[in-house]
Structure 1
Amino acid sequence: MKRFYILGFLALIVFDTLAQVSFKFASVHAEPLTMDAAWLVRVFGAPWIYGAFVGYIGAFFTWMTLLKYAPVGPAFAASHLELISVTLISVWLFDDTLTLPKIVGGALIIAGILCLARSEDKDSQQVEVEPSQAPAS
């Protein structure tokens, strides 16, 4: 089951990152923003907009599947890992700068996920122990 969670969250990160990066590429392709038919043609003429749709649809179905099986607390926190992946890919693809607040924010996201996962492990261990401690009738 642990491998399911790891693969599921990796797929979620990939889909979310694909969606965000694709939207950025599509917006760059569609510049300048003019809010007219020509702009819409530029938006939907860019292949990246369809990558964004695939990313969001894939993320939606992956997320729904994960929520069916994963504990909600760690799952919700882990769903924010895409913020880190998008930040790192944006540094590489779009020459964004990696600032100290972004690094601290990423570290806090990871720390929060680890804390929630650890807490969830302790809670599940207590649930497994409690029934055996019940007095016999």
Structure 2
Amino acid sequence: MRRFYLFGFLLLMAFDTLAQLSFKLAGSHALPVTADAAWLARVFAQPWVYGAVAGYIGAFFTWMTLLRHAPIGPAFAASHLEVVSVMLLSAWLLHEPLTLPRVLGAATIVAGILCLAAAERETLVVAPGPAG
């Protein structure tokens, strides 16, 4: 089951990251916004729009599968790891600044997820089994 969680959350993070980066790139290539047919044609001509859609669909189905098995608290927290992956890939691929507050925020997210995972593991060890 541990492998299932690890693979599932890595897949979720990959889909979420694909969606966010694709959405950013699609938006950048759609400028200037004119809200007319020509603009819509320009938006849907970009492959990034389809990357965003594929990422959102993949994330949805991965998330629904994980929710059937994972405890909701740690699962919800771990589902936000894409904030860290998007930040790192944006710095690398899009040359966005990687500032100290961003790094500290990412470290806080990871620390929070680790704390929730440790608390969940402790709960599973300490909690009494079913009566009977």
**Normalised by the size of structure 1, how large is the TM-score?**
0.92
Shift of residue 68, structure 1, vs aligned partner: 0.7
> What's the CA shift string for 1:3-49, capped at 9, x where partnerless?
00000000001000000111111112211111111111010011110
Q: Give the RMSD, CA atoms, in angstroms.
A: 1.5
The one-letter code sitting in structure 2 at the alignment partner of 1:112 is: G
Counterpart-to-counterpart distance in 1, 2:60 and 2:3: 20
Q: Residue 131 of structure 1: CA displacement? A: 4.2
Q: Which residue in the other structure is 1:65 paired with?
A: 65
Measured against aligned partners, the alpha-carbon deviations of 1:64-121 in whole angstroms (never above 9, x if no partner) come to 1111100111101101100000001111121110011111110011110110000001
Aligned to 1:56: 56
Q: What is the count of residue pairs matched by the alignment?
A: 132
Consecutive unaligned residues of structure 1, counting only runs of 5 or more, are none
**Matching residue of 1:80:** 80
| Distance in 2 separating the partners of 1:85 and 1:42 | 28
Structure 1 residue ranges (4+ consecutive) displaced by more than 4 angstroms after TM superposition: none
Q: Which residue in the other structure is 1:107 paired with? A: 107
Matched residue, 2:20: 20
Paired with 1:131 and 1:90, the residues of 2 have a C-alpha distance of 45
- Label 1:91 to 1:131 Cα distance change in 2 as closer, same or farther (>3 A): closer
What amino acid maps onto 2:64 in structure 1? M
Secondary structure of the corresponding residue to residue 79 of structure 1: helix
Distance in 2 between the 1:120 and 1:62 partners?
21
Q: TM-score, normalised by structure 2?
A: 0.95
> Which residue in the other structure is 2:92 paired with?
92
Identity percentage of aligned residues: 62
Aligned residue number for residue 11 of structure 1: 11
Between the aligned partners of 1:95 and 1:34, the Cα distance in structure 2 is 27
2:101 and 2:69 mapped to 1: Cα distance? 33
What is the SS of the residue equivalent to 2:22?
helix
Counterpart-to-counterpart distance in 2, 1:103 and 1:79:
18
Are 2:122 and 1:122 aligned? yes
